[in-house]
Amino acid sequence: MRVFTVVIEKDEDDWLVGKVVELPGCFTQAKTLDELMDRMREAIEGYLEVEDISNEKIEFVGVQKIAL
């Protein structure tokens, strides 16, 4: 079992947009967090059916904020 990191943002129309850090191009959107996470699971499963990531070693490190 692999664990994936999902970054969640809210767009200008109040939709939640989830992106998987370790899987470039793997994203989805929904109106609620529960629905988003269900859709994220489906998106990840679909991505893994098409892409072979067995040799990739992308590791999520963290998030930092910078005030300017």
Phi, psi of 17 (to 5 degrees): -120, 120
Q: Give dist(CA 24, CA 47) in Å, integer.
A: 10
> Residue ranges per domain, the chain?
6-50
One-letter identity of residue 59: E
State the 10-residue block means of pLDDT for the chain, 68 residues long.
Answer: 92 96 94 98 94 77 89
* pLDDT of the residue at 27: 97
One-letter identity of residue 29: Q
Which CATH code is given to the segment(s) 6-50?
A: 3.30.160.250
Phi, psi of 34 (to 5 degrees): -60, -45
Q: Is 65 exposed, middle or buried (0-12, 13-18, 19+ CB in 10 A)?
A: exposed
* pLDDT of the residue at 17: 98
* pLDDT of the residue at 62: 87
